[in-house]
């Protein structure tokens, strides 16, 4: 069976599919009554975009936050983060489609590759949660397209390459690796000079304005939990994608002279994910989508003795893929901050004074500052953040009443905000562990307890 697809049909379909997929978790979240942005990193970027004093510090500056800052300067709204992410997602898919046209692929192969990319958890994560990797991926695909043009027009990549070192070291490594692979394949002098210049720029930026390995917080889950979205990974891969990608890798083995650089790259990226940084899966996802599309096309075109069995197998794979993505979309639509979190923080905003300090576990400070509009004891952009983390550990885990109350007094902490994650193993495993044990003292008063979220007042 042959699918007849024109270029116009491909562009139209992937555009509609991208919009539907990226809007679906947002729509589910909105119709459930939750209008907050999803995830911790979304609020991290909102803080930078609304606070130029922090944004323009060299150790925090990124082009993504600069764009958000510019948009917020026009009209102050959290909606800009969603608009920017979706626009970059659409642009990335269209640019990737254009890039794939340079390969020896049929329209059908290209179509399935794009579908697998769009229906992948790592892609949805990158362009639904407000995070810098939406801009990074867009820029890298744009650079790849510009590199494929003829002659000295390749130097049009220079303005975009200049932005890359200001994100993080991971992004710079991926970019340099891509330039190196392209040069090894094409042996073009222009790309060689671009690579050398880019490496020099990265070193210079690291000396003058050191960038972190990764800009986003690492979740700290196990390898398998985070690598596979079906096991709960936020940025992971679908098992169905991985299965078809393996099929694609096996069936294209005869063309290994063309793809010889791909196999060590995949191994390197997986090892990097396991031992260094989980954000690498966002880049790995593009390679796996490429081979997943190849794998499905091989199954589609292969001659089976029983045609019914062939159609049933492909149908089951597609149903499994759709169900897997549907489950993932539902999962992230309910991600923190959820309704109980939002309600408690709004209550805190309405029942506390602006100058009073709120204490909670690291990563939750952005919700406190954005939704409750109150100062958080922990602040990732505070110069003394590392020292405060040590103090926070003492407060959370110590059962020494004198030590804990002294730390709370010294740091002028008035409220303690606790959610289900914290008492469910993120911080404590037992109900009488650390600070939970000290709550029995009359100096602590429970002023809010609803849907698993508690707020304690310290007197």
Q: Per mean pLDDT, which range of 102-111, 272-281, 286-295, 318-327 is the poorest?
A: 272-281
Q: What's residue 273's pLDDT?
A: 61
Position 218 pLDDT exceeds 60? no
274 domain-assigned: yes
Q: What's residue 457's pLDDT?
A: 94
Mean pLDDT score of the chain, rounded to an integer? 84
Residue whose entry in the numeric block shows the structure tokens 């940025």: 235
pLDDT tens string 150-197: 777 788 899 999 989 888 888 888 898 888 888 887 888 888 888 899
pLDDT confidence bin for 143, thresholds 50/70/90: very high
192 domain-assigned: no
pLDDT confidence bin for 219, thresholds 50/70/90: very low
**What's the structural domain count of the chain?**
2
pLDDT confidence bin for 104, thresholds 50/70/90: confident
Helical (H) or strand (E) element with 435: helix 435-438
- Are 327 and 344 part of one and the same domain? no
Q: What's residue 256's pLDDT?
A: 62
- Are 327 and 371 part of one and the same domain? no
Q: Which domain holds residue 265?
A: 7-131+216-333
Question: How far is 129 from 389, CA to CA, in rounded Å?
Answer: 26
pLDDT tens string 226-243: 666 656 667 777 778 888
Among residues 301, 333, 365, the one where a domain terminates is: 333
Among residues 333, 365, 392, the one where a domain terminates is: 333
Q: What's residue 212's pLDDT?
A: 65
CATH of the domain at 387: 3.40.50.12610
Q: What's residue 311's pLDDT?
A: 78
Residues 6+ apart with CB under 8 A from 55: 48, 49, 61, 65, 66, 69
Among residues 278, 303, 333, the one where a domain terminates is: 333
- 3-class secondary structure, 187: coil
- Are 268 and 373 part of one and the same domain? no
Whether the link from the prior residue into 57 is cis, omega within 30° of 0, is no
Question: How far is 132 from 62, CA to CA, in rounded Å?
Answer: 8
Q: What's residue 94's pLDDT?
A: 96
- Are 96 and 126 part of one and the same domain? yes
Strand order in the sheet with 444-450: 375-376, 357-359, 413-418, 453-458, 444-450
197 domain-assigned: no
Average pLDDT over residues 396-400: 92
Position 1 pLDDT exceeds 50? no
183 domain-assigned: no
Structure tokens at 387: 């020292």
380 domain-assigned: yes
What is the model's pTM?
A: 0.84
- Are 309 and 416 part of one and the same domain? no
- Are 271 and 352 part of one and the same domain? no
Question: How far is 258 from 262, CA to CA, in rounded Å?
Answer: 9
Residue 348's CB is within 10 A of a number of other CB atoms, namely 22
175 domain-assigned: no
pLDDT tens string 333-381: 988 888 889 899 999 999 999 889 999 998 888 899 888 989 999 887 7
The 8-class DSSP code of residue 280 comes to G
Position 3 pLDDT exceeds 60? no
Q: What's residue 188's pLDDT?
A: 83
pLDDT tens string 121-130: 989 999 998 8
Transcribe 26-63 into DSSP letters. HHHHHHTT--SPPSHHHHHHHHHHT-HHHHTSTTT--H
312 domain-assigned: yes
- Are 372 and 243 part of one and the same domain? no
404 domain-assigned: yes
- Are 351 and 398 part of one and the same domain? yes
- Are 346 and 424 part of one and the same domain? yes
pLDDT confidence bin for 437, thresholds 50/70/90: very high
- Are 271 and 389 part of one and the same domain? no
pLDDT tens string 294-330: 888 888 777 777 777 777 877 888 888 888 888 889 8
From the number of C-beta atoms within 10 Å of its C-beta (0-12, 13-18, 19+), residue 129 rates as: buried
pLDDT tens string 46-99: 877 777 777 777 666 788 888 988 888 888 777 888 899 999 999 999 999 999
First to last CA, the chain: 74
């Amino acid at each position: 069976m042959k699918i007849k697809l024109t270029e116009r049909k491909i562009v139209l379909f992937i555009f509609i599919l991208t919009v539907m997929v990226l809007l679906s978790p947002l729509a589910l979240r909105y119709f459930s009554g939750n209008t907050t942005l999803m995830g911790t990193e979304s609020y991290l970027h909102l803080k930078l975009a609304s606070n130029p004093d922090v944004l323009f510090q060299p150790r925090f500056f990124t082009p993504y936050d600069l764009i958000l800052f510019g948009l917020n300067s026009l009209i102050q709204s959290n909606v800009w983060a969603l608009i920017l992410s979706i626009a970059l997602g659409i642009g990335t898919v269209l640019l990737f489609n254009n890039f794939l046209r340079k390969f020896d692929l049929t329209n059908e192969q290209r179509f399935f590759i794009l579908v697998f990319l769009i229906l992948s958890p790592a892609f949805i994560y990158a362009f639904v949660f407000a995070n810098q990797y939406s801009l990074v991926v867009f820029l890298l695909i744009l650079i790849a397209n510009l590199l494929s043009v003829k002659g000295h027009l390749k130097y049009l990549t220079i303005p975009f390459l200049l932005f890359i070192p200001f994100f993080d070291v991971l992004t710079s490594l991926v970019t340099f690796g891509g330039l190196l692979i392209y040069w090894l394949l094409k042996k073009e002098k222009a790309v060689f000079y671009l690579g050398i210049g880019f490496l020099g720029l990265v070193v210079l930026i690291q000396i003058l304005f050191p960038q972190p390995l990764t800009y986003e917080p690492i979740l700290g889950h196990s390898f398998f939990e985070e690598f596979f979205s079906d096991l709960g990974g936020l940025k992971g891969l679908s098992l169905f994608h991985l299965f078809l990608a393996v099929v694609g890798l096996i069936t294209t083995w005869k063309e290994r002279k063309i793809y010889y650089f791909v196999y060590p790259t995949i191994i390197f990226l997986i090892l990097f994910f396991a031992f260094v940084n989980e954000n690498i899966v966002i880049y790995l996802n593009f390679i796996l989508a490429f081979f997943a599309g190849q794998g499905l096309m091989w199954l589609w075109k292969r001659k089976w003795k029983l045609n019914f069995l062939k159609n049933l197998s492909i149908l089951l794979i597609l149903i499994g893929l759709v169900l897997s993505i549907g489950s993932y979309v539902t999962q992230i639509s309910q991600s923190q901050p959820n309704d109980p979190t939002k309600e408690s923080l709004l209550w805190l905003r309405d029942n506390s004074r602006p100058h009073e300090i709120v204490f909670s576990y690291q990563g939750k400070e952005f919700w406190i500052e954005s939704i409750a509009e109150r100062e958080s004891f922990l602040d990732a952009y505070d110069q003394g953040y590392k020292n405060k983390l040590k103090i926070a550990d003492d407060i959370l885990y110590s059962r020494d009443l004198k030590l804990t109350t002294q730390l709370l007094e010294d740091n002028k902490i008035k409220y303690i905000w606790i959610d289900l994650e914290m008492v469910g193993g993120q911080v404590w495993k037992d109900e009488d562990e650390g600070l939970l044990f000290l709550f029995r003292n009359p100096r602590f008063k429970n002023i809010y307890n609803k849907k698993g979220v508690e707020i304690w007042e310290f007197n």
